Structures are given as structure tokens and as C-alpha cells.
């Protein structure tokens, strides 16, 4: 029986129970009711990500997003905190390459208060100078911590090498010198240019009426205008690798070195994404971290952990393998991982591997949708990547249609064992390799 036709998949979000409305000023609203929940989850984003950051002021988008809750023309930082805490609600902001995102929750009856605070923060931030300096100190402390974490530094240089001269290769949180260079005027200008209703998405999931929520969002946000709002351009695809790149960042006296290696992956809305995702599970996710975990960690004892991951976005992504390794065993771990990649692109996965991973992918989906937050994340994916309102209803059938040959074809399309980015951080590896 086709899983997509089974009644149990009717509980997943679909065209019949997702309300999608675009307001006159360009804000897109998605709502789904959960009658069993007294609370609501609020999620969304505006088109003001780090792709707009000047190279000498990387981190500006995140600095701006985090500063939104530090004071408005109506509420001080403490006032915002008190107003939310008094009703048990929360609201926070962050940034990624493409967007500045927000998330919060409250009781369903308090949603108008939460929406009012969201509107105030995104459209009327004051950016008080004293609050900005406190926030700057926190950001610099975070960067100091990052600079001593082998896993984060290995990932940082991996992105820099894989996405050379591309927004995906620059850290959203910036560097010491770029955060120090950002002024209050920079933050004000960034907000004025890039924050606006055009391209904004607001998702609400919980014990609410869709029609009522749309009206509440209209009351809170439809009057927001920014005629001068600058919208993001479509990013180019990252340049393909021409050879293997090897880089090590030395962090002395670390007992563990971290290794990140891999290549470019598919777009999130590409037909290649689901075969690549299922194949990645076989390679380094399922059970004890798939083949990579079994061979590198369990059988050979070369790593404290070892797994693979697929990160896909609008303009591209990465297919990477991460491992925490004894510094003297880095080269052996790299060689063994490359052997597993060669095997992965040389021959199809087994029917048993396919069956087990299909069951896992299909079985976990309803569990991911049990919470308001899980459904909100699903609706965000649908809108962000233009997947279609029926995506999750169709998902089980699409997974069942994947074959070993399709996974092999996809793996060969993206993975070349002779063209990898290999980055590590920690104590100097043996023989300088």
C-alpha cells in the first residue's frame, strides 16, 4: 500500500489544513490549528540575512537581529522582557545567510500581545547605544570561545574553503575585527535598508482559529511599510571543486582534534535532495552513525565520534563528514573515510540498508510533527524552499520510490573522492598532514 494514501498521513500538514494568506504589504502568513494545544508557536523571518553584510563588517546582520529586542521606541530592554515574562511568553531573533529569523511562544489567548511585540521589535527598534555595547561584548566573548573550540574552527575553515568568495563561506557571527568595527549607525542603516514586510513570513501553529490569527497578524503588521526596502538577489551557485584542499588550524594543547571533510551538496528543493539525504543516512547517520561511524569509530577506534551530514539551502549546500580524532590519528582517519566514500560511489547500497533507512525516514516524520514547534518548522520549510503545501503528505511515497541505483547516481553526481575539502583543528597532526 502506498504510504501517502494511508489515513495516518492525513495527520501531517497538507493543503486542506494549512491556511496561507499574503497581506497587502507582502507579508506571507501560514497558520495550522492544533486543537489539543492551549499554546501557540510563532516562527518566521524577514529577508535581511548576512548575504548583505559588507566584508569588513561581517556579523552585522546578526548584530542587528539580536539587537531588536534590546529596546524600542515604546519599551526598554527590561520592559520587553517584563511584558513577555508576565504572560509566560518568549520572543527571540537570530540571523542566517538568507534571513533574519524570529521565534516565540505564548498561550493562544496571548497571541495578540506576542504579535504586537514582534511588530514593535521589527519595525520600531531604538538600538540604544548602551545596550549595543553590552551586546557587542557578548558577541566578542562568543567569538573568543569559538576560537578555542576545535569543532567550530574546523567547520569555519571548511566553509571558507568550500564556498570561496561566496556568502555561504563567511561566518554569520563575523570575526573580532568586524564586530568591533560595527557602529550604531551601521545597525540603523542595515535595519532601514533591509527590514521590511516584503518577503516576510509569519507562521503560527497551535490552539487558534486560522481566520482569527490572520486578522490578528493583519492588525499587527499590515500597516508596516518600507518603500525603500532592498530585497536580496538570487545567489549564484558555489564554484565546483577542482582538486582536494587540505588545511589545518593549530590549537595547541588540545587532547582532541576535530576533522571536517566533504564537498558541495544539492539544493534543498532539488530532486536530488531526498536521494542524497537517504544515502547520507546510510553513509553516516543511521544507527551508530552509519558506515562511517561503524568503520572509523567502532571497528578501527580512530575517532571519538564520526558521522556525515547534509546541509542544503537555496543556492547550494554541503555534504560533509565530521569526526573527533586523537591528533596522532588524523591521517589514518582521513584515509579510512576516503575509502568509505570510494565504496559509497562505486557500488549501490544494500537492500537491507535501503529498507532500514526508509523505515526510519518515514517513521520519524509523524514524531517530528507532534509538537507545535515541529509543525511550524515544517511550514517554514514549505514556504522557504517552495516545496508545495502537499510536500509532507507526499513525502512517504517519495521516500518509498528511491532505489539503490538512484542513490548511487546521486552520490556520484556530488561526491568525488579526489576532490574534497579536508579541514582540521587542534594539536598539529602527525607528519604535518
Name the nearest CA neighbour of 210 among 104, 119, 111, 121.
Answer: 111
What are the CA-CA distances from residue 170 to residues 149, 165, 193, 324 (Å)?
18, 8, 21, 23
The Cα–Cα gap between 115 and 220 comes to: 6
Q: Please tell me the predicted confidence (pLDDT) of residue 10.
A: 74
Q: What are phi and psi of 381, to 5 degrees?
A: -60, -45
Q: Please tell me the predicted confidence (pLDDT) of residue 1.
A: 39
C-alpha cell at 327: 591528533
Q: Please tell me the predicted confidence (pLDDT) of residue 303.
A: 87
Degrees to nearest 5, angle at CA 268 with 422 and 289: 50
Q: Please tell me the predicted confidence (pLDDT) of residue 431.
A: 47
Q: Please tell me the predicted confidence (pLDDT) of residue 432.
A: 43
The Cα–Cα gap between 429 and 433 comes to: 6
Successive 10-residue mean pLDDT values, the chain, 433 residues: 54 95 98 97 98 98 98 97 97 98 98 98 98 98 97 98 97 98 98 98 98 98 97 95 96 93 97 98 89 90 92 96 93 95 97 96 94 97 97 96 98 97 88 47
Strands, E, within 51-169: which ranges? 90-95, 100-107
* Helices assigned H by DSSP within 293-370: 330-346, 351-368
Q: Please tell me the predicted confidence (pLDDT) of residue 24.
A: 97
- Asked if residue 208 lies in contact with residue 31, where contact means CB atoms within 8 angstroms, the answer is yes
Instruction: State the chain's mean pLDDT as an integer.
Output: 95
Structural domains of the chain ordered from first start? 12-221 (3.30.830.10), 245-432 (3.30.830.10)
Q: Please tell me the predicted confidence (pLDDT) of residue 8.
A: 66
SS3 content of the chain, % helix, strand, coil (to 5): 50, 20, 30
**DSSP secondary structure of 261-297:** EEEEE--TTSTTHHHHHHHHHHHHTHHHHHHHIIIII
What are the CA-CA distances from residue 112 to residues 67, 78, 89, 298, 331 (Å)?
22, 20, 11, 52, 57
Amino acid at each position: 500500500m502506498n504510504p501517502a494514501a494511508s489515513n495516518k498521513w492525513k495527520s501531517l500538514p497538507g493543503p486542506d489544513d494549512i491556511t496561507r494568506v499574503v497581506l497587502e504589504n507582502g507579508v506571507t502568513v501560514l497558520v495550522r490549528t492544533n486543537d489539543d494545544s492551549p499554546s501557540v508557536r510563532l516562527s518566521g523571518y524577514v529577508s535581511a540575512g548576512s548575504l548583505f553584510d559588507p566584508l569588513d563588517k561581517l556579523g552585522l546582520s546578526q548584530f542587528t537581529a539580536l539587537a531588536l529586542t534590546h529596546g524600542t521606541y515604546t519599551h526598554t530592554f527590561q520592559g520587553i522582557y517584563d511584558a513577555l515574562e508576565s504572560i509566560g511568553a518568549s520572543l527571540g531573533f537570530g540571523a542566517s545567510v538568507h534571513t533574519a529569523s524570529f521565534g516565540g511562544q505564548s498561550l493562544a489567548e496571548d497571541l495578540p500581545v506576542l504579535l504586537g511585540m514582534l511588530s514593535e521589535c521589527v519595525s520600531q527598534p531604538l538600538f540604544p547605544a548602551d545596550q549595543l555595547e553590552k551586546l557587542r561584548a557578548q558577541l566578542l566573548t562568543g567569538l573568543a570561545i569559538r576560537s578555542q573550540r576545535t569543532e567550530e574552527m574546523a567547520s569555519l575553515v571548511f566553509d571558507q574553503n568550500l564556498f570561496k568568495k561566496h556568502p555561504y563561506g563567511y561566518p554569520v557571527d563575523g570575526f573580532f575585527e568586524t564586530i568591533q568595527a560595527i557602529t550604531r549607525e551601521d545597525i540603523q542603516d542595515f535595519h532601514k535598508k533591509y527590514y521590511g514586510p516584503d518577503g516576510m513570513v509569519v507562521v503560527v501553529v497551535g490552539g487558534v482559529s486560522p481566520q482569527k490569527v490572520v486578522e490578528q497578524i493583519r492588525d499587527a503588521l499590515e500597516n508596516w511599510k518600507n518603500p525603500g526596502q532592498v530585497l536580496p538577489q538570487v545567489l549564484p551557485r558555489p564554484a565546483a571543486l577542482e582538486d582536494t584542499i587540505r588545511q589545518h588550524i593549530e590549537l595547541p594543547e588540545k587532547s582532541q582534534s576535530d576533522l571536517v571533510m566533504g564537498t558541495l551538496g544539492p539544493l534543498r528543493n532539488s530532486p536530488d535532495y531526498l536521494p542524497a539525504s537517504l544515502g547520507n543516512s546510510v553513509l553516516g547517520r543511521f544507527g551508530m552513525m552509519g558506515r562511517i561511524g561503524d568503520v572509523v569509530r567502532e571497528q578501527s577506534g580512530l575517532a571519538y565520534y564520526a558521522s556525515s551530514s547534509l546541509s542544503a539551502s537555496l543556492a547550494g549546500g554541503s555534504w560533509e563528514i565530521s569526526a573527533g580524532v586523537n591528533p596522532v590519528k588524523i591521517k589514518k582517519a582521513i584515509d579510512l573515510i576516503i575509502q568509505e566514500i570510494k565504496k559509497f560511489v562505486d557500488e549501490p547500497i544494500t537492500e537491507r540498508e535501503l529498507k532500514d533507512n526508509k523505515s526510519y525516514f518515514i517513521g520519524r516524520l509523524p514524531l517530528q510533527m507532534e509538537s507545535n514547534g515541529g509543525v511550524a518548522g515544517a511550514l517554514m520549510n514549505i514556504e522557504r524552499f517552495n516545496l508545495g503545501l502537499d510536500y509532507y503528505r507526499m513525502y512517504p511515497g517519495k521516500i518509498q520510490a528511491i532505489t539503490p541505483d538512484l542513490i548511487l547516481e546521486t552520490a556520484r553526481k556530488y561526491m568525488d573522492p579526489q576532490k574534497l575539502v579536508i579541514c582540521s583543528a587542534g594539536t598539529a597532526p602527525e607528519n604535518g598532514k
